[in-house]
């Protein structure tokens, strides 16, 4: 088992489970690329924008089911399942790492996967045979605090645990649902393109000061993230990967002209995963 690169995955609408588009096709390639390059993960630790808690909290139940934490979508979504094993032993390990770093951490004997977890995992590991451990995070923590949270998780990458932050590269739902929504394949808006390009450029430059201060430094930050809970999981995954290697964008599609579906990999093994995915695409 090689060290696994932590990931940030933009999970998009729940409808991606029924209408995969480019992001879903990428997720279907991602699992095999990870397995071929690093070996099948022993477990997946997921920090999702839809599991928010007052302090970091682990859902350490022995089994998980899909939670349908949405409304107004195709009723067929309610028939989709993702019954995955939990990871109680890993929860104890993670709680210990966080407490050793001076961070508060709780663990509860409960299960359940929000759509930010089960929608992408249904395509990445459709067999639901990899244990999953959700880690809820406080949405009022700063990027620097969440980066430190991720740094405390860094040892897991060498222990066969895939760390995933699940959110959205851009997330202005008011623009999508207010008034007449744009077509799902609308051309990218100028402000969305500027924000996404800025993230990639600052990531490649390892400009952590700028990335951590994105709210004041990124172009159109408030327009792309009126609230930032969908962006914050990026920092947990980044912290788990460390500062030494540049974050690499593995996928960059979007929907509705303004909802980025980008995926990033972090840490020294990010480049190996990027090369594996390029071979698959070729």
Residue 37 belongs to some domain of the structure: yes
Domain count for the chain: 1
CA–CA dist 166, 65 (Å, integer): 17
Residue 34 belongs to some domain of the structure: yes
Closest by Cα among 129, 126, 85, 134 to 107: 134
Average pLDDT, the chain: 96
Residue 182 belongs to some domain of the structure: no
Residue 186 belongs to some domain of the structure: no
Residue 202 belongs to some domain of the structure: no
pLDDT tens-place string over residues 158-203: 999 999 999 999 999 888 877 777 889 999 999 999 999 999 999 9
Domain containing 236: what range?
7-170+231-245+261-281
Torsional sign, CA 235, 146, 205, 169: positive
Distances (CA, A) of 174 to 40, 92, 223, 237: 39, 39, 10, 26
Tokens of 21: 């588009």
Residue 205 belongs to some domain of the structure: no
Confidence of residue 1 (pLDDT cuts 50, 70, 90): low
Torsion on CA atoms 204, 49, 185, 178, rounded to nearest 10: -130
| Beta bridge partners of residue 136, listed in sequence order | 57
The CATH number covering residue 162 comes to 3.40.830.10
Tokens of 152: 């405390």
pTM here is: 0.97
């Amino acid at each position: 088992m090689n060290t696994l690169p932590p990931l940030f995955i933009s999970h998009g609408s729940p409808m991606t489970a029924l209408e995969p588009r480019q992001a879903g096709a990428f997720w279907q390639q991602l699992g095999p690329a990870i397995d071929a390059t690093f070996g099948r993960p022993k477990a997946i630790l997921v920090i999702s924008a839809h599991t928010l808690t007052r302090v970091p909290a682990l859902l350490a139940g022995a089994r998980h089911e899909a939670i349908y934490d949405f409304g107004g979508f195709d009723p067929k979504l309610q028939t989709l399942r993702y019954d995955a094993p939990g990871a109680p032993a890993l929860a104890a390990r993670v709680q210990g790492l966080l407490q050793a770093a001076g961070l508060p951490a709780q663990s509860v004997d409960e299960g359940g996967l929000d759509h930010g977890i089960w929608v992408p995992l249904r395509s990445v590991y459709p067999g639901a045979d990899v244990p999953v451990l959700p880690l809820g995070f406080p949405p009022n923590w700063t990027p620097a605090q969440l980066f430190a949270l991720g740094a405390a998780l860094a040892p897991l990458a060498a222990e066969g645990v895939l760390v995933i932050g699940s959110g959205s590269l851009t997330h202005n739902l008011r623009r999508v649902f207010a008034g007449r929504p744009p077509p799902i394949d609308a051309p990218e808006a100028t402000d969305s393109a500027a924000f996404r390009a800025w993230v990639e450029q600052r990531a490649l430059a390892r400009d952590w000061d700028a990335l951590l201060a994105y709210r004041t430094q990124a172009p159109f930050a408030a327009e792309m993230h009126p609230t930032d809970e969908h962006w914050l999981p990026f920092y947990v995954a980044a912290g788990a990967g460390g500062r030494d290697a540049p974050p690499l964008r593995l996928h960059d599609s979007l929907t509705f002209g303004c909802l980025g579906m980008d995926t990033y990999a972090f840490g020294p093994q990010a480049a190996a995963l990027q090369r594996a995915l390029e071979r698959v695409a070729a």
